[in-house]
Amino acid sequence: MAPTPDQKQNPMAQGYVRASRASSIALTAVIPAALGYWADRSWNTYPWLVVTGAVFGFGLMMRELFSLVKPPARRASSRDDNVSPP
């Protein structure tokens, strides 16, 4: 079994990659809520835009998490299956 690209890296590089992924996912959830808070304060619509931003950020965060744990899709088409090797 061939080692994965993460296993070829040294432990410090693996830590940086994991920290980058975690902070990216966290910021994906926090930034829309923070923008909603700022807009609420500017337009005096509290709490509607912060709630909308939090829900939108949560949805984006879940999409990022699912894409992170989903195995990579194999590219196979029915046309390739029907072709015989030369």
Burial class (CB in 10 A: 0-12, 13-18, 19+), 31: middle
- pLDDT, residue 71, reads 79
Tell me, yes or no, if the pTM score tops 0.75: no
Q: CA-CA distance, 30 to 57, in Å (whole number)?
A: 7
Spell out the alpha helix ranges (H) of 1-77: 5-8, 11-43, 48-69
Domain locations in the chain? Answer: 31-68
- pLDDT, residue 76, reads 59
Q: What is the pLDDT of residues 21-73, one digit of tens each?
A: 999 999 999 999 999 999 999 999 989 999 999 999 999 999 999 988 887 77
